[in-house]
């Protein structure tokens, strides 16, 4: 922060405060040792709070049978414990569900560091507490200083007792208040002597050494310092929150480099202690070399170190670089790190010195950055960065066989050649015999070949031949040089092969990821994306996979590979947890680790929608996934979430678009109906009011015409209402045909009469083939169907048009055609004339706009009869005009005789 | 006697069918046009006394017909319009149409509108300095207004407004037309002025300001001078 800038509230400090407000408040009663009276102090304070009107409930209290403590519990509401079956007995545990259901204002939970019995939701009680806090309930709890994770080492060194139940520092940092419960060491020892201090059976052997005055004093100091540091950080946070310029600006920043050797854990704890002392933020980083394969044991150690650093509150980063010290320093400078902490394994043997170079290189180049070197016992240390760890496993026996055969071949060729020509350097042949297995089978067969070649060369070609002794010194030298060259070639060629193999593997996995993404992005719907994703996950990770999606508020399996349609209760609970909290749950995590599946939430990052969870079945051991698979899984989960979200969004878009289209159609329908109804209504109202107001002044003939007009228009309205009703019925599929024998000629004549009655001025001609059969059809619906076509022709063909109606039988179908010589239908409208609300541009001076329903109804009716409709423009054999044809299937036994 | 020639422009034959006998019965001589161009030609050749125009015509927009007619003719134009085409109606009035009637309509109402439009045209031809509106007399040159013989005190703006309305008696005036003429083009959209002044005028000249008979509101369109 530059000096000129006005003080600004640190958003992170404000955010932290805001987050805490929604959460419950956590108060920890911290003591230096058992027996100082933490539970007693907590209960006293709780009673006071209850008297002050708070809703206080004791979730779990360990009184250890002490009378004073027991007395304080009296009168407090106590949650019953939950019995959990474990190894054949029932262990009473804190009942998390009951606490959440009870929702008190303040909950007392004794012993923050307690480990829950297997089968509980969380392995640790502090995790239960976090969940209660998240539900907005205040919690008071108790804790001894030796249970704090980062102090674990220190406490062990002071007391000689290793504490197994630890609480991560982050869980301590989350406390809103820490209250120190202190008791002078002498008094505590006196209480112990009086039998007032409860000590767990398992710890009795350590009691004597633990409760020594020197130990207790040291522990008290630790506790006091911890609380003091806490008060300090509270102050800083408050100052940042209110933008007060303060002393934190030039704070220290630490960086700890975590290696795969045994020093990792020690180095991380040391870094944490330093960071706390300096009130500094700290990073934990690993540096991996590109192309470097790490043994699984090293990988596990490295991951454990990084996980520890994370729980201790470090910011963790994984760097990739070939220049280890260079990359470390670059990162350190970028992040303004002031101190670097590295581990150094004390090691025997010639390779111990290899490790020192990192520390040396750092010290030499770290201008202005302090470097701490933490040493660890050699027996803890693993092979570290020694050359052995870089070698791949030996591989199958076939490689060695091939190497042996190669050497034998080289010997044979060498012997044959020396018979023919004098070969000065047979060793070249053996080099070939070393190089080939190095390239084909890796390092170990090549080294094997080197040794074998060395022996064979000596035996067959160096005097005295057929012995392993060497007569001349210069030949001994040549032999030794050969061996060295062969081994070096083996190593180099083997490494090259190994790297090529790695590169290929990496390319395969990149390719796989790319294919995965591409495959998912091409799939159209949710179900298929989920299906493809689980298959792909199974193929990539080699573990059973399942995707659960939220449907109507609860998770359901969308896809699983190998196919699976149900999960056990524990897994479902873990899945729901992962979905609701947006955190991983199940095997290998801190929540419900006994479930056989690991669940990761899908989506929900960056404010996105959470759509479900993805589950990976765990191997039996329950070990956490290593970082490489973890990283791959993370990428796959993200891709899957993105693909699923995409399909969901596109489905939503389609839904919205369909709704909009429906809305549009409805609007057109309303507009068209109101328009179509207006003209007949205007005519009826106009004619009626003319007669009412001016009747006597109108000649009788005109009066009659007005009355006829009223009747005609009313009939027009009726026709429109019928069309609308038919359309509705057609759309609902509720059209019931009342079939009867219908004479098509009569049908055509009725249609002509109808339009003429409505004032058609066109010439209408009806033609029919002789001996036309009758058709089985619904007469009134067919009237409507043909009527609409003829009315359409009258409306669009022009006033002087000629309209022909014809009926013929073609291919066992009755074809009724209506042909006009009007302007025709534009080519772009023609394919749509039978659709709803499609109207052709109207000829001038003719009838009103149609509703655009007429021909759609015609098609609906004809198709309901099993027939079809078609339109052509210009009409066949003409330069303009339109021909609309209705085809009806003829029944097999159509009676032709009935026709009169 | 012939009350005048009236041109009916509509593409619906049904409209002509009842309009023709009704107009004849009221003493008008009806002329029929089915398209806009036919209408323009007939107005030029036959000089009708009024035009009844449907806005939806097959060959051109009814508004276009008004625009072209107004270039050279002051013939009263009555619009036949649909209720759902309010905007079109206002545009037509702004272009110079005199009045409108919504479809469907009663013949009595149409005839009343027609008479009012024709009377207004006669009045304009006379160019009298004193205009009468029911019991209200407006003496334009002397800036005097009397109601049943008693003088009414008006502010200059009120007088301008009343004078403009009275001069266009029998015509529907849109808000925009009134605002432009009385307040100036900058105030075309300040309809709140208009509402306040019309309220004041009504209080001074109407017999019952709560149900005005002289300055009648056409909801969403403007005002019509009654009387």
- Mean pLDDT, residues A811-830: 85
A549 and A637 belong to one structural domain: yes
User: Among the listed ranges A501-505, A510-514, A889-893, B220-224, which one has the minimum average pLDDT value?
Assistant: A889-893
- What 8-state DSSP symbol labels residue B183? I
Q: Do A847 and B13 make contact, defined as CB atoms within 8 angstroms?
A: yes
| A43: nearest Cα among A23, A30, A33, A29 | A29
A199 and A124 belong to one structural domain: yes
Please give the residue of chain B at the shortest CA–CA distance from A711. Answer: B14
Nearest CB among B11, B21, B103 relative to A690 is that of B21
Our CA-based measurement puts residue A658 at a distance from the nearest CA of chain B, in whole angstroms, of 26
Residue B84: pLDDT over 70? no
Q: Which of B3, B14, B39 to mutate to test the interface with A (most CBs of A within 10 A)?
A: B14
Q: Compute φ and ψ for A806, nearest 5 degrees.
A: -135, 155
Among the candidates A390, A411, A439, a domain finishes at A390
The pLDDT value given to residue A815: 92
Among the candidates A341, A367, A390, a domain finishes at A390
Cβ atoms of A487 and A474 within 8 Å: the answer is no
Q: Which of B9, B13, B34, B37 to mutate to test the interface with A (most CBs of A within 10 A)?
A: B13
Superfamily for domain range B4-125: Response regulator (3.40.50.2300)
Residue A347: pLDDT over 80? no
Instruction: Extract the tokens encoding B191.
Output: 């309809």
A99 and A140 belong to one structural domain: yes
The pLDDT value given to residue A900: 38
A354 and A433 belong to one structural domain: no
- According to DSSP, the β-strands at A740-742 and A554-561 are unpaired
The pLDDT value given to residue A898: 43
* Contacts with B58 from chain A: Cβ below 8 Å: 842-846
Q: Which of A667, A670, A693, A794 to mutate to test the interface with B (most CBs of B within 10 A)?
A: A693
The pLDDT value given to residue A469: 76
Residue B205: pLDDT over 60? yes
The number of folded domains in chain A is: 5
Please give the residue of chain B at the shortest CA–CA distance from A706. Answer: B18
A200 and A281 belong to one structural domain: no
User: Among the listed ranges A308-312, A401-405, A629-633, which one has the minimum average pLDDT value?
Assistant: A629-633
The pLDDT value given to residue A388: 39
A113 and A162 belong to one structural domain: yes
Nearest CB among B15, B84, B111 relative to A682 is that of B15
| B131: nearest Cα among B142, B195, B76 | B142
- What 8-state DSSP symbol labels residue B134? T
Instruction: Extract the tokens encoding A823.
Output: 């302007």
Among the candidates A177, A210, A241, a domain finishes at A241
The pLDDT value given to residue A407: 87
The pLDDT value given to residue A377: 57
Our CA-based measurement puts residue A802 at a distance from the nearest CA of chain B, in whole angstroms, of 20
Percent of chain A with pLDDT over 70: 83
Our CA-based measurement puts residue B14 at a distance from the nearest CA of chain A, in whole angstroms, of 6
Q: Do A685 and B11 make contact, defined as CB atoms within 8 angstroms?
A: no
A547 and A637 belong to one structural domain: yes
Cβ atoms of B112 and B101 within 8 Å: the answer is no
Residue A123: pLDDT over 70? yes
* Contacts with B104 from chain A: Cβ below 8 Å: 678, 681-682, 684-686
Residue A838: pLDDT over 80? no
Q: Do A702 and B11 make contact, defined as CB atoms within 8 angstroms?
A: no
Residue A846: pLDDT over 50? no
The pLDDT value given to residue B6: 92
Residue A74: pLDDT over 50? yes
Q: Do B104 and A685 make contact, defined as CB atoms within 8 angstroms?
A: yes
The pLDDT value given to residue A375: 75
Q: According to the 3-state scheme, what is the secondary structure of A397-463?
A: HHHHHHHHHHHHHHHHHHHHHHHHCCCCCCHHHHHHHHHHHHHHHCHHHHHHHHHHHHHHHHHHHCC
Question: Between A627 and A211, whose confidence is greater?
Answer: A211
Residue A537: pLDDT over 80? yes
The pLDDT value given to residue A396: 67
Residue A337, domain CATH = 3.40.50.620
Our CA-based measurement puts residue A697 at a distance from the nearest CA of chain B, in whole angstroms, of 5
For the domain made up of B128-225, give the CATH fold. Answer: Arc Repressor Mutant, subunit A (1.10.10)
The pLDDT value given to residue A53: 85
Residue A891: pLDDT over 80? no
User: Among the listed ranges A6-10, A160-164, A471-475, B90-94, which one has the minimum average pLDDT value?
Assistant: A6-10
The pLDDT value given to residue B7: 92
Residue A679: pLDDT over 60? yes
The pLDDT value given to residue A643: 86
Our CA-based measurement puts residue B213 at a distance from the nearest CA of chain A, in whole angstroms, of 24
Report the mean per-residue pLDDT for chain A: 78
Q: If pLDDT is split at 50, 70 and 90, which confidence band does A239 have?
A: low
Nearest CB among B21, B82, B110 relative to A702 is that of B21
The pLDDT value given to residue A668: 66
A103 and A46 belong to one structural domain: yes
The pLDDT value given to residue B123: 62
Three-class SS of residue A225? Answer: helix
The pLDDT value given to residue A675: 67
A431 and A531 belong to one structural domain: no
Nearest CB among B59, B82, B104 relative to A844 is that of B59
The pLDDT value given to residue B217: 86
Distance, in Å, from the CA atom of A255 to the CA atom of A341, rounded to the nearest integer, reads 6
Q: Which of A682, A712, A849 to mutate to test the interface with B (most CBs of B within 10 A)?
A: A682
Q: According to the 3-state scheme, what is the secondary structure of A550-588?
A: EECCEEEEEEEECCCCCCCHHHHHHHHHHHHHCCCEECC
Residue A779, domain CATH = 3.30.565.10
Q: Do A709 and B17 make contact, defined as CB atoms within 8 angstroms?
A: yes
The pLDDT value given to residue A438: 78
User: Among the listed ranges A22-31, A423-432, A699-708, A889-898, which one has the minimum average pLDDT value?
Assistant: A889-898
Residue A354: pLDDT over 70? no
Please give the residue of chain A at the shortest CA–CA distance from B12. Answer: A847
* Contacts with B84 from chain A: Cβ below 8 Å: 671, 674
- Mean pLDDT, residues A863-889: 85
- According to DSSP, the β-strands at B144-147 and B150-151 are antiparallel
The pLDDT value given to residue A847: 41
Q: Do A686 and B25 make contact, defined as CB atoms within 8 angstroms?
A: no
A87 and A227 belong to one structural domain: yes
**Tell me: the pLDDT tens digits for A875-886?**
777 778 888 999
Q: Do A703 and B34 make contact, defined as CB atoms within 8 angstroms?
A: no
**Tell me: the pLDDT tens digits for A255-275?**
898 887 777 888 888 888 888
Residue A894: pLDDT over 60? no
Three-class SS of residue A816? Answer: strand
Nearest CB among A678, A693, A847 relative to B104 is that of A678
**Tell me: the pLDDT tens digits for B25-35?**
888 999 999 88
Distance, in Å, from the CA atom of A705 to the CA atom of A687, rounded to the nearest integer, reads 9
Cβ count within 10 A of residue B89? 23
Q: Do A686 and B82 make contact, defined as CB atoms within 8 angstroms?
A: no
Q: Which residues contact A369 (CB under 8 A, 6 or more apart)?
A: A329, A332, A333, A337, A338, A339, A340
Residue A614, domain CATH = 3.30.450.40
* A28 is a domain residue: yes
Domain ranges (residues) in chain B = 4-125, 128-225
A339 and A450 belong to one structural domain: no
Distance, in Å, from the CA atom of A287 to the CA atom of A325, rounded to the nearest integer, reads 9
The pLDDT value given to residue A387: 37
The pLDDT value given to residue A141: 92
Q: Do B35 and A845 make contact, defined as CB atoms within 8 angstroms?
A: yes
CA A623 to chain centre: 22
Residue A389: pLDDT over 50? no
Our CA-based measurement puts residue B92 at a distance from the nearest CA of chain A, in whole angstroms, of 20
Please give the residue of chain A at the shortest CA–CA distance from B54. Answer: A679
The pLDDT value given to residue A818: 92
Our CA-based measurement puts residue A757 at a distance from the nearest CA of chain B, in whole angstroms, of 13
* Contacts with A686 from chain B: Cβ below 8 Å: 15, 18-19, 22, 104-107, 110
**Tell me: the pLDDT tens digits for A287-328?**
877 666 677 777 778 888 888 888 788 888 887 777 788 888
Our CA-based measurement puts residue A796 at a distance from the nearest CA of chain B, in whole angstroms, of 12
* Contacts with A709 from chain B: Cβ below 8 Å: 14, 17-18
A263 and A282 belong to one structural domain: yes
Q: Do B12 and A690 make contact, defined as CB atoms within 8 angstroms?
A: no
The pLDDT value given to residue A353: 47
* Contacts with A703 from chain B: Cβ below 8 Å: 21
Q: Do A847 and B24 make contact, defined as CB atoms within 8 angstroms?
A: no
Q: Do A846 and B35 make contact, defined as CB atoms within 8 angstroms?
A: no
Our CA-based measurement puts residue B87 at a distance from the nearest CA of chain A, in whole angstroms, of 16
Q: Do B14 and A682 make contact, defined as CB atoms within 8 angstroms?
A: yes
Distance, in Å, from the CA atom of A688 to the CA atom of A700, rounded to the nearest integer, reads 15
Q: Which of B16, B22, B39, B101 to mutate to test the interface with A (most CBs of A within 10 A)?
A: B22
Cβ atoms of A751 and A783 within 8 Å: the answer is yes
The pLDDT value given to residue B52: 92
User: Among the listed ranges A497-506, A590-599, A855-864, B50-59, which one has the minimum average pLDDT value?
Assistant: A497-506
Residue ranges of chain B whose CB lies within 8 Å of a chain A CB: 11-15, 17-22, 24-26, 34-35, 58-59, 82, 84, 103-108, 110-111
> Which residues constitute the domain of residue A572?
525-656
Cβ atoms of A344 and A353 within 8 Å: the answer is no
Residue A627: pLDDT over 80? no
* Contacts with B22 from chain A: Cβ below 8 Å: 686, 690, 694, 698
* Contacts with B12 from chain A: Cβ below 8 Å: 679, 682-683, 847-848
Nearest CB among A679, A690, A692 relative to B12 is that of A679
Question: Between A270 and B134, whose confidence is greater?
Answer: A270
- Mean pLDDT, residues A628-635: 76
Q: Do A693 and B103 make contact, defined as CB atoms within 8 angstroms?
A: no
Residue ranges of chain A whose CB lies within 8 Å of a chain B CB: 671, 674-675, 678-687, 689-690, 692-694, 697-699, 702-703, 705-706, 709, 713, 759, 842-848
């Amino acid at each position: 922060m530059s000096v000129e800038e006005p003080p600004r509230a640190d958003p992170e400090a404000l955010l932290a405060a805001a987050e805490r407000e929604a959460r419950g408040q956590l108060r920890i009663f911290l003591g230096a040792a058992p027996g100082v009276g933490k539970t007693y102090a907590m209960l006293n304070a709780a009673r006071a709070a209850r008297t002050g009107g708070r809703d206080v409930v004791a979730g779990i209290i360990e009184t250890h049978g002490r009378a004073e403590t027991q007395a304080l519990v009296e009168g407090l509401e106590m949650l019953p414990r939950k019995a959990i079956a474990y190894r054949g007995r029932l262990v009473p545990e804190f009942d998390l569900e009951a606490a959440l259901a009870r929702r008190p204002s303040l909950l007392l939970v004794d012993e923050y560091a307690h480990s829950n019995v297997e089968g509980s939701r969380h392995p640790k009680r502090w995790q239960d507490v976090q969940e209660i806090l998240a539900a907005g309930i205040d919690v008071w709890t108790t804790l001894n200083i030796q249970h704090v994770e980062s102090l674990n080492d220190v406490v062990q060194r002071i007391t000689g007792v290793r504490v197994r139940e630890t609480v991560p520092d982050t869980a301590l940092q989350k406390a809103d208040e820490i209250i120190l419960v202190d008791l002078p060491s002498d008094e505590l020892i006196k209480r112990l002597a009086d039998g007032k201090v409860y000590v767990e059976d398992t710890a009795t052997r350590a009691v004597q050494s633990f409760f020594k005055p020197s130990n207790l004093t040291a522990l008290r100091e630790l506790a006091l310092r911890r609380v003091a540091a806490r008060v300090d950080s509270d102050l800083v946070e408050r100052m940042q929150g209110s933008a007060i310029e303060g002393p934190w600006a030039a704070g220290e920043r630490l960086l700890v480099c975590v290696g795969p050797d045994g020093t990792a854990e020690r180095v991380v704890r040391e870094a944490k202690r330093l960071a706390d002392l300096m009130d500094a933020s700290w990073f934990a980083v690993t540096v991996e070399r590109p192309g470097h394969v790490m043994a699984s044991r090293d990988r596990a150690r490295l991951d454990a170190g990084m996980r520890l650093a994370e729980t201790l509150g470090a910011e963790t980063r994984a760097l990739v670089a070939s220049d280890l010290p260079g990359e470390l320093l670059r990162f350190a400078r970028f992040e303004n790190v002031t101190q670097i902490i590295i581990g150094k394994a004390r090691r025997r043997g010639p390779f111990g010195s290899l490790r020192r170079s990192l520390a040396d290189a750092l010290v030499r180049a770290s201008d202005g950055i302090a470097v701490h070197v933490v040493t660890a016992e050699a027996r803890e240390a693993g092979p570290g960065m020694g050359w052995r760890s870089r070698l791949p496993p030996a591989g199958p026996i076939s490689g060695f066989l091939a190497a042996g055969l190669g050497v034998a071949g080289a010997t044979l060729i060498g012997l044959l050649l020396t018979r023919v020509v004098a070969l000065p350097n047979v060793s070249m042949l053996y080099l070939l015999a070393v190089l080939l297995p190095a390239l084909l089978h890796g390092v170990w067969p090549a080294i094997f070949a080197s040794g074998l070649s060395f022996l064979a060369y000596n035996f067959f070609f160096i005097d005295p031949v057929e012995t392993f002794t060497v007569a001349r010194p210069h030949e001994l030298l040549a032999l030794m040089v050969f061996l060295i060259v062969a081994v070096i070639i083996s190593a180099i060629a083997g490494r090259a092969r190994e790297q090529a193999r790695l590169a290929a593997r990496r390319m395969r996995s990149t390719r796989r990821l790319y294919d995965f993404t591409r495959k998912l992005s091409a799939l159209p719907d949710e179900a298929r994306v989920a299906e493809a994703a689980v298959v792909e996950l199974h193929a990539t990770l080699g573990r059973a996979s399942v995707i659960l999606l939220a449907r109507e508020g609860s998770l359901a399996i969308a896809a699983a590979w190998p196919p699976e349609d149900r999960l056990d209760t524990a897994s479902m609970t873990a899945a729901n947890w992962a979905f609701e909290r947006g955190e991983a749950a199940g095997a290998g995590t801190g929540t419900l680790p006994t479930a056989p599946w690991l669940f990761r939430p899908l989506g929900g990052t960056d404010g996105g929608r959470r759509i479900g969870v993805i589950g990976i079945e765990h191997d039996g051991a329950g070990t956490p996934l290593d970082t490489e698979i973890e990283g791959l899984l993370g990428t796959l989960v993200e891709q899957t979430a993105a693909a699923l979200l995409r399909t969901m969004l596109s489905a939503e878009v389609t839904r919205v678009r369909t709704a909009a289209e429906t809305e549009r159609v409805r609007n057109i329908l309303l507009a068209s109906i109101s328009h179509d109804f207006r003209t007949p209504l205007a005519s009826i109202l106009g004619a009626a009011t003319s007669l009412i107001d001016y009747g006597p002044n109108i000649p009788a003939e005109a009066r009659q015409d007005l009355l006829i007009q009223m009747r005609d228009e009313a009939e027009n309205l009726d026709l429109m209402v019928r069309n609308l009703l038919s359309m509705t019925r057609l759309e609902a599929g509720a059209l019931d045909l009342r079939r009867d024998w219908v004479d098509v000629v009569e049908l055509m004549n009725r249609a002509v009469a109808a339009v003429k009655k409505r004032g058609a001025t066109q010439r209408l001609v009806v033609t029919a083939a002789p001996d036309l059969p009758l058709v089985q059809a619904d007469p009134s619906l067919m009237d409507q169907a043909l009527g609409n076509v003829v009315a359409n022709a009258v409306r669009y063909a022009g006033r002087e048009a000629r309209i022909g109606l014809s009926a013929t039988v073609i291919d066992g179908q009755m074809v009724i055609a209506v042909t006009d010589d009007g302007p025709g239908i534009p080519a772009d409208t023609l394919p749509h004339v039978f659709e709803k609300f499609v109207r052709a541009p109207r000829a001038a001076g003719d009838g009103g706009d149609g509703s655009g329903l007429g021909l759609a109804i015609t098609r609906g009716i004809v198709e309901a009869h099993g027939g079809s409709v078609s339109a052509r423009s210009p009409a066949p054999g003409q330069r303009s005009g339109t021909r609309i044809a209705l085809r009806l299937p003829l029944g097999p036994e159509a009676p032709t005789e009935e026709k009169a | 006697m012939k009350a005048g020639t009236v041109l009916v422009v509509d593409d619906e034959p049904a409209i002509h069918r009842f309009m023709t006998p009704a107009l004849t019965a009221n003493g008008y001589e009806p002329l029929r046009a089915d398209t806009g161009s036919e209408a323009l030609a007939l107005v030029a050749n036959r000089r009708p006394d009024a035009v009844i125009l449907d806005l939806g015509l097959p060959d051109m927009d009814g508004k276009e017909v008004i625009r072209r007619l107004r270039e050279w003719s002051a013939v009263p134009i009555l619009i036949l319009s649909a209720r759902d085409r309010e905007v079109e109606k206002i545009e037509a009035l702004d272009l110079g149409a005199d009045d409108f009637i919504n479809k469907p309509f009663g013949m009595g109402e149409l005839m009343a509108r027609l008479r009012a439009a024709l009377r207004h045209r006669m009045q304009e031809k006379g160019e009298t300095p004193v205009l009468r509106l029911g019991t209200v007399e407006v003496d334009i040159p002397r800036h005097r207004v009397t109601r049943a013989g008693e003088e009414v005190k008006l502010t200059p703006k009120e007088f301008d407004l009343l004078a403009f309305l009275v001069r266009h008696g029998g015509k529907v005036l849109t808000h925009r037309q009134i605002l432009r003429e009385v307040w100036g083009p900058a105030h075309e959209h300040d309809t709140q002025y208009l509402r306040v002044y019309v309220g004041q005028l009504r209080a001074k000249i109407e017999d019952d300001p709560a149900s005005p008979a002289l300055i009648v509101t056409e909801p969403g369109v403007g005002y019509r001078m009654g009387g």
